[in-house]
Amino acid sequence: MIRFAHSEYLYALVLVPLMVALFLAAIRLRRKALERFGAPGVLSLLMPESGRYKRQIKFALLAAAVMFLILGVANPQIGTKLEEVKREGVDIMIALDVSGSMKAQDIKPDRLESAKQEISRLIDKLQNDRIGLILFAGDSYLQLPLTTDYSAAHLLLSTVDVDAVPVPGTAIGSAIEMGMKSFAAGEKKHKVIVIITDGENHEDDAVAAAKQAREDGIVVHAIGMGTPEGAPIPVMQNNVQTDYKKDAGGSVVLTKLDGQALQQIAEAGGGRYIRATNRQDELDVVLKDIQAMEKKEFGARMFTEYEDRFQYFLALALVFLVAELFVAERRTKWIANLKLFRGVR
């Protein structure tokens, strides 16, 4: 297990591509300036001590030194001791709708992206609870089993898009049934399913599934993504919008939030129905309900001891920095006599 003790410093890695862009711009400006004095072939004869590629080598060494310095400051750590740790919390299964209608933009930036941002903030607020993720459209898939590895949850969530489930449609009941199967059998409490969808269910009886979940001790909440007025569904190609989805008659299709259906599902599941807004704080209400629930004790295997590895990265940064200092931009006579840079002028 690898982690960074100060991961916030990793944002500084953006300096490396910025340095590359500035260096390439400087090289281009220098080349244009030299071209005003004569042809490149003539200038190379007039400046025999100028190394053509040494400047690039020096920059590459400097950029590598900066990159390893930033990684060293962030302090990479390796887990060395894995132990069974007892924790108390609630099992939360998020069922996220990834049907095409979730790309509608009546909630900014769009329904799916807004839902992902809300889920991400929910994960950040969890402490001892386990969380899982189900993706559904015309069918449902378990994307992430229940876990306390919140980093893995963030990573998998970031990759979710509307093409994650190949079967078109919206089967909310299937998602609830998948959530029920994902929990430990025999327990009648400590379990929550949060359905995040626009409510346009076309495939099954979601209310009956929610009732069954409640009988099994599972609380079902529903978050409605969208507006009753609706919005067109963008048609995307290579991440670029090319049109809106149209029906057989050529009219633009509007996808509307079915709040009534989601209200019925939440009532059948003993939970709440909350309509999403651009404030993206709906899951805060659900989290308060979850925090008020009775907790259960479970074991989780976690790394409890870590060893610092920053010294290796700082050492590499120092090596590259010293190497950069020893590479001269101009060729010295004794190096030229050794012909180490033949063909690298």
Residue 343 lies in a domain: no
Task: Say whether both 100 and 49 belong to one domain.
Answer: no
Using DSSP's 3-state secondary structure scheme, residue 217 falls into coil
Same domain? 139 vs 265: yes
Q: Please report, as a single letter, which amino acid is at residue 60.
A: A
Residues 316 and 256 in one domain: no
Residues 212 and 327 in one domain: no
Amino acid at 19: M
Taking each helix axis from N to C terminus, what angle separates 259-268 and 206-215, rounded to the nearest 10 degrees? Answer: 20
Residue 345's pLDDT is 44
**Structural domain of residue 315, as residue ranges?**
2-75+309-338
In this structure, what CATH number is given to the domain that contains residue 165?
3.40.50.410
Residue 67 resides in a domain? yes
**What is the number of other CB atoms lying within 10 angstroms of the CB of residue 341?**
14
- Does residue 59 sit within a domain? yes
Q: Assess whether 95 and 207 both reside in one domain.
A: yes
Say if residue 150 is in the same domain as residue 273. Answer: yes
Q: Is residue 50 part of a domain?
A: yes
pLDDT of residue 202: 65
Q: Do both 118 and 193 map to the same domain?
A: yes
Q: 119 lies in a domain?
A: yes
Which of 54-58, 147-151, 261-265, 339-343 is most confident?
A: 261-265
Cα 167 vs. chain centroid, distance in angstroms?
A: 23
Do residue 63 and residue 147 come from a single domain? no
Q: Does residue 344 lie in a domain region?
A: no
Those residues whose C-beta lies under 8 Å from the C-beta of residue 298, and which sit 6 or more positions away, are 86, 87, 88, 89, 130
- CA angle centred on 115, ends 102 and 10, rounded to 5°: 125
Q: Where are the alpha helices (DSSP H) in the chain?
A: 15-35, 40-46, 54-74, 111-125, 150-158, 172-182, 206-215, 259-268, 282-292, 310-326, 333-338
How many separate helices (H) and strands (E) can be counted in the chain?
11, 13
The pLDDT, as a whole number, for residue 334 is: 44
Shared domain check, 316 and 294: no
Contact of 296 with 75, CB cutoff 8 Å: no
Tokens for 315, please give them.
């050492």
What is the pTM (predicted TM-score) of this model? 0.66
Per the structure, the count of domains in the chain is: 2
Q: What is the rounded distance in angstroms from the CA atom of residue 206 to the CA atom of residue 209?
A: 5
List, in sequence order, every residue forming a beta bridge with 85; answer none if it has no partner. Answer: 300
Specify if 16 maps to a domain. yes
Helix (H, G, I), strand (E, B) or coil at 162: coil
Residues 140 and 210 reside in one and the same domain: yes
Query: What pLDDT score does 80 carry?
Result: 67
Crossing angle, helix 172-182 and helix 206-215, to 10 degrees? 20
Give the C-alpha separation, 119 to 157, whole Å. 8
Closest CA to 96 of 172, 17, 1, 16: 172
70 and 190 in a single domain? The answer is no
pLDDT band at 77 (very low <50, low <70, confident <90, very high): confident
- What is the Cα–Cα distance from 242 to 247, expressed in whole angstroms? 16
Q: What whole-number distance in Å separates Cα of residue 316 and Cα of residue 319? A: 5
Residue 251, in any domain of the structure: yes
pLDDT for 178 equals 96
% of residues, the chain, pLDDT over 70:
84
Same-domain pairing of 222 and 98: yes
C-alpha to C-alpha distance for 33 and 50, rounded to whole angstroms: 16
Give tens-digit pLDDT for 41-69: 555 555 555 556 778 888 999 999 999 99
> What are the angstrom distances between the C-alpha of 152 and each of 21, 120, 123, 133, 157?
33, 11, 11, 11, 8
The pair of structure tokens assigned to 112 is 């799916």
